[in-house]
Amino acid sequence: ATRHAEMVVIDRVLDWCKQRNKDYTEVFADSVLYVTVEPCIMCAAALRLMIVYGCQNERFGGCGSILSISSDDMVNTGEPFKCISGYRAKEAVELLKAFYRQENPNAPKSKVRKKDHRN
């Protein structure tokens, strides 16, 4: 549940910096992260860098929908960051719908019985 795409990106950037002997603070400062959905509160707090996202996350959004982690003045959490919302929002929603229509072969079998639709 905590391995959201933003966390995977952070890990990959840190690994990339380590392999190339680069200062991660400079790399993150010069980076822009594009994500489909507004980052959750956890990811927004972890990133604290510039993010561009498509659609809002009205249940867990950390960049304005629920909290404003990106722009709030918070002690010992890094600098506020610019967060741009609504970039290709309709397309982002369609990508999410397509994703959730698929079945995850690794997901545990549902314990909820589907209704029998016999005539």
Which residues carry out catalysis?
A: 6
Tokens of 75: 């002690």
* Close Cβ partners of 2 (under 8 Å, ≥ 6 residues apart): 42
Q: Are the C-beta atoms of residues 37 and 6 closer than 8 Å to each other?
A: no
Amino acid at residue number 5: A
Q: Output the CA torsion sign for 9, 106, 108, 57.
A: positive
